[in-house]
Amino acid sequence: MHNIEADYLVVGAGAMGMAFIDALVSETETRVVLVDRNHQPGGHWTTAYPFVRLHQPSAFYGVNSLRLGSDTIDQVGWNEGLYELATAGEVCAYYDHVMRQQFLPTGRVSYFPMSEYLGEGRFATLAGTEYTVDVARRVVDATYMRVVVPSMRPPPYRVAPGIDCVPPNDLPRHAGHQRYVIVGAGKTGIDTCLWLLGQGIAPDRLTWIMPRDSWLLDRATIQPGPLFADLIKASFTARVRAIADAASVEDLFRRLEDVGALLRIDPAIRPTMYRCATVTQAELEQLRGITDVVRMGHLLRVDADKMVLDGGAVPMDGCALYIDCTADGAEKRPAKPIFGTGGITLQSVRGCQQVFSAALIAHVEAAYPDDATKNQLCAPLPHPDTDLDWLRVTLADYGNQLRWLDDPDLTAWLSAARLDVLGHLLGHLAAPGSAKPRVRDRILSMAKSALSATATKLDTLMVEEASLTAP
């Protein structure tokens, strides 16, 4: 047994652990021990399928201190005209670079890959050496979000012998079937459909198992920088107006769709799922070309001659390739206080912006005195899953944002944070010296009152909805 000392013990070198350490090490002189069972940093990205890309721009992914990619606008493909999206390869190379060129040279980060955390400050390396870390400040749990991608586990339904069923990781090597069955309609299912269509496979050769339809985000409205500032401002204003004018939750979704804040694949079907999946209009058009969509609940079993779902059986000839896209990459975990007696539990503090959240939590840890204040600034925000979660996440988002804008130091930090997608919009207005103070204050005050009124209205809509659905 070896003893080592550190201020922080971080468990998990995924995107959240890396963003947290980057901000902490940049802002303090602390020493960090980082433990991960994986062989390289990057978490789930290291086992991702080969054609995955970020679904939101690289411009606000990674760690705060280093740009990911080159902030170029795609000239070709279904993301044309929008900011680039890193591939899994780029993401992994980036984290390797951050580790080797930024973290380790500080002499304050000790990294233990291929090491299993055993609890109570103890971990074991692959070679079997056990360490106990004497932690002066906190243990940081950067594993709590429990990201699962299909390659990490077998499909959760039975597959008869002789039927081909693969995770998307193996799809390029197994392509060549007459029919492809895409199991699951989350972002991985969407990526898989788009990859097949992008290879020129006709849409009528795809069968898409879609237990729930989903509200989707339009990537054009989630872009950084001055180029898109007017569009983002217009889309924010339209969303705020839709909420203000909504007479009910049902009416709200109608209005949000009308102003382009939410999209859906089939206009005839009212989505019940919302998980921040993000597409472009061009991608949406491609997906709409798939007509064999099976809406019969979850897949239970694949037999030689049929698929069995919650809602019944569908005859199949046994020659199709099934692609399992059912893993829960963004589970709705119970919220727990981020700063607790047991340490820090990294969670989202802005909807579906995990890396930004981790960096902000590190800044709050470094800059604020006590846990009550820190928790007040960092209310955790569980991942959305249902349509109603759009309201919950938006409400919680606005609540956190308002608390941050009430704090001038935090507002200044946000304005310089590369990972803050809103900072690209509000930041340059709020940063000292970049705008006349009176103009800046007026804009901030307008933003605050819009957020505040919107939060109140969302609250009202949710209370009304709850009373309608109460038994």
Ligand X SMILES: Cc1cc2nc3c(=O)[nH]c(=O)nc-3n(C[C@H](O)[C@H](O)[C@H](O)COP(=O)(O)OP(=O)(O)OC[C@H]3O[C@@H](n4cnc5c(N)ncnc54)[C@H](O)[C@@H]3O)c2cc1C
User: Which positions lie near ligand X, rule CB under 6 A?
Assistant: 11-17, 35-38, 43-44, 52, 54-56, 61, 116-117, 142-143, 145, 147, 149, 187-188, 329, 353-355
391's tokens: 């309201």
Cα 155 to Cα 34, 168, 176, 191, 320, distances in angstroms: 31, 12, 21, 18, 16
Smallest distance from ligand X to CB 53, Å: 8
Smallest distance from ligand X to CB 246, Å: 27
Smallest distance from ligand X to CB 433, Å: 29
Whose Cβ is closer to ligand X: residue 29's or residue 120's?
120
Smallest distance from ligand X to CB 287, Å: 17
Paired sense of beta strands 180-183 and 206-209, if any: parallel
Please choose, from the candidates 3, 69, 12, the residue with its C-alpha nearest in 3D space to the C-alpha of residue 358: 12
Burial (CB count <10 Å: 0-12, 13-18, 19+), residue 26: middle
Whose Cβ is closer to ligand X: residue 84's or residue 387's?
84
Give 441's contacts (C-beta < 8 A, 6+ positions apart): none
The SS3 of residue 53 is strand
| Residue 386, number of CB atoms within 10 A of its CB | 16
Whose Cβ is closer to ligand X: residue 246's or residue 400's?
400
Whose Cβ is closer to ligand X: residue 13's or residue 256's?
13
Q: How far, in Å, CA of 13 to CA of 109, rounded?
A: 12
Assign residue 349 a region: left if phi > 0, alpha if psi is -120 to 50, beta otherwise?
alpha
Q: How far, in Å, CA of 69 to CA of 61, rounded?
A: 10
Smallest distance from ligand X to CB 190, Å: 10
3's tokens: 């003893």
Smallest distance from ligand X to CB 338, Å: 13
Whose Cβ is closer to ligand X: residue 184's or residue 427's?
184
Paired sense of beta strands 122-125 and 115-119, if any: antiparallel
Beta strands in 246-400 (DSSP E): 273-279, 293-294, 299-302, 306-309, 312-315, 321-324, 339-340, 343-345
Whose Cβ is closer to ligand X: residue 94's or residue 157's?
94
Whose Cβ is closer to ligand X: residue 35's or residue 430's?
35
Whose Cβ is closer to ligand X: residue 36's or residue 387's?
36
φ/ψ of residue 81, rounded to 5: 90, -5
Smallest distance from ligand X to CB 444, Å: 25
Smallest distance from ligand X to CB 200, Å: 23
Four-CA torsion 361, 363, 369, 372, nearest 10 degrees = -20
Smallest distance from ligand X to CB 24, Å: 15
Whose Cβ is closer to ligand X: residue 143's or residue 169's?
143
Q: How far, in Å, CA of 310 to CA of 61, rounded?
A: 38
Smallest distance from ligand X to CB 187, Å: 6
Whose Cβ is closer to ligand X: residue 98's or residue 252's?
98
Q: How far, in Å, CA of 58 to CA of 49, rounded?
A: 18
| Residue 34, number of CB atoms within 10 A of its CB | 26
